[in-house]
Structure 1
Amino acid sequence: MSVLFRASSVGIGLNICTSVRSCVQSQQLRFAGHNKWSKIKRSKGAKDANRAKIFSKATRAIRVASKICGGDMTNLHLQSAVQAAKALQVPKDRIKDAINCTSKDTGEDLVTMRYDGHINTPSGRVLVICTALTDNKNRTAANVRSSFRKADGELASSGANDWLFDHVGVALVHKKKGYQETEDLSDSLSTERITINEEDEDELLECALENGALDVDFGDGDDNMHAFVACETSDLYPLVTALRENDYSVSEFENRYILKDETSSIDLDEESTEKFQKFLDKMDEDEDVNNVFYNSKLFE
């Protein structure tokens, strides 16, 4: 993945940073688009029918991460799993139990798998990448293959959709330096009156670029308190560490797949959305599958 821009001088000034920011804003960034970061801002209310399975997936990821680091909460891999669980509103006691469950869960037999494929819809072919955490690769592959076929889709070889997606690290960062968020992001935003100005954004941009960021999206939606910072996957944890050391609140971070070019996204009509949503629901029900990435915009 080519780098959009990277600050090489540690002493870069705000005037230079502002110039870079203006240049960035005048371009069509390859990360720009309707849905580029949607998966990191997870649904705050899991569907009742799938809530237990969704919670199970989240706590399973915590147990695996905790096993690897011995429950050390300074470990960023464990922190990432915990933050993801909090975003899904997993109860605190379940998170705590998962962190402390290192002696009960072996974790060594769990491996990460990736599956590429497509789903045919009336609006067009939707390309999909699924990732899974499993202790039985044959079982998971069979279940995922069955879900694709039932949705009028087909699996391809792993990596087949690399031409469409970039694998990047993404962090959700509060724009105001020194601001400490509560565990409930929505409560934090509703109870605090925070003013974000261009200097705040310039300062965050400067810090992010100096520490390996490829892109900083300040957003233009309802949530103007946060920015999404993207980087190479290998740079995610060092970048998160650097941002926190510079007094920025990083509430969520993960490695994920995003579209290289948002023009390759297809808009699904109502019929296609209903069909594709059934496939996504099936993926939610599969306890091994932990993420699904795709190149479509659902009908609203």
Structure 2
Amino acid sequence: MSGHSKWHNIQATKGKADAARSKIFTKIGREIAVAVKLGGPDPNSNSNLRAIITKAKQNNMPNDNIDRSIKKASGELGSVNYETIVYEGYGVGGSAVIVDCLTDNKNRTAGDVRHAFDKNGGALGSSGCVSYLFQRKGVIVVPRVEGLDSDALMMDALEAGAKDVVEEDDEVEVITEPNEVNAVAAALEKAGYKIAMSESTLIPDMYVDLDEQKLSTFQKMIGILEDLDDVQNVYHNVNLPDDDEEE
């Protein structure tokens, strides 16, 4: 079992309030659209769509919203074509940032992302400039509810194919290979565990510490990026204060 996990450090503002929830629904809707375009509207035969629907439900997205997104992507309600773009760059203090986007207008997205970096002491870089500092892994979050047996969870998770289990104060995090996260999550759910979140993500090999002023600037940049409709995920390697992790 490894030491303290920094999972929340790369989830700076995700899902914090009702206002943010609406934005999350919009972002998930775009993911559904891309999944339907690539693999069809039937989750039984489209494993990627099935995983995104699970993610949507974990974020309390109403079934009507999910169904409407699928119908829109399949052409029943009109459709928009989204393109996946990944930006890499540097924040203040030499911090590393990766921005995943889904957009129907590359020029708009590039301008918005570049503006967020430039106005906050950062700079966009070329493809590959910081991605080598991260590893893609699957993360499953199990809330520490009353009666949870952490030892049993660890054994069940490892038996299901997990690579590591990390205990936090209010949750247990199960680490998997990125292509196995859905199968492990399904096995744990079948075993009776509540799954708060499961997804493939990027985790940095090492974290950097910023002084108070640079940290404030960095957090402002991350907030601006995550508020952009075209941005799906923002990953970074900065140690954030505990109060930001728990918001």
- TM-score, normalised relative to structure 2: 0.79
1:238 counterpart = 2:197: no
Q: Secondary structure at the match of 1:250?
A: coil
1:150 counterpart = 2:93: no
Task: Letter of the 2:83 partner, please give it.
Answer: V
1:260 counterpart = 2:209: no
Instruction: Name the Cα RMSD after superposition.
Output: 3.1
Task: Letter of the 1:212 partner, please give it.
Answer: G
5+ residue gaps, structure 2, are none
1:94 counterpart = 2:65: yes
**Counterpart position of 2:139:** 170
**Counterpart position of 1:180:** none
- TM-score, normalised relative to structure 1: 0.66
5+ residue gaps, structure 1, are 1-23, 176-188
Task: Letter of the 2:151 partner, please give it.
Answer: D
Structure 1 residue 119 displacement after superposition? 1.4
CA distance in 1: counterparts of 2:177 and 2:143, whole angstroms: 20
1:285 counterpart = 2:230: no
1:216 counterpart = 2:165: yes
1:63 counterpart = 2:63: no
CA distance in 2: counterparts of 1:228 and 1:83, whole angstroms: 17
CA distance in 2: counterparts of 1:291 and 1:158, whole angstroms: 17
Task: Letter of the 1:266 partner, please give it.
Answer: D
Instruction: Please tell me whether Structure 1 or Structure 2 has the larger radius of gyration of its CA atoms.
Output: 1
**Counterpart position of 2:147:** 195
Structure 1 residue 45 displacement after superposition? 0.3
Higher helix share: 2
**Counterpart position of 1:228:** 173
CA contact (8 A) 1:40 1:254 kept: no
Task: Letter of the 1:56 partner, please give it.
Answer: T
CA distance in 2: counterparts of 1:293 and 1:45, whole angstroms: 20
**Counterpart position of 1:112:** 84
Structure 1 residue 51 displacement after superposition? 6.2
- Identity percentage over the alignment? 32
**Counterpart position of 1:185:** none
CA distance in 2: counterparts of 1:292 and 1:116, whole angstroms: 10
Deviates most, 135-144 or 109-118: 135-144
Aligned residue-pair number: 238
CA distance in 2: counterparts of 1:169 and 1:40, whole angstroms: 18
Structure 1 residue 235 displacement after superposition? 1.8
Change (3 A) 1:159 1:33: farther
**Counterpart position of 2:52:** 81
Cα deviation code 1:127-184 (max 9, x no counterpart): 1111111234344233322321122211122222234221111112357xxxxxxxxx
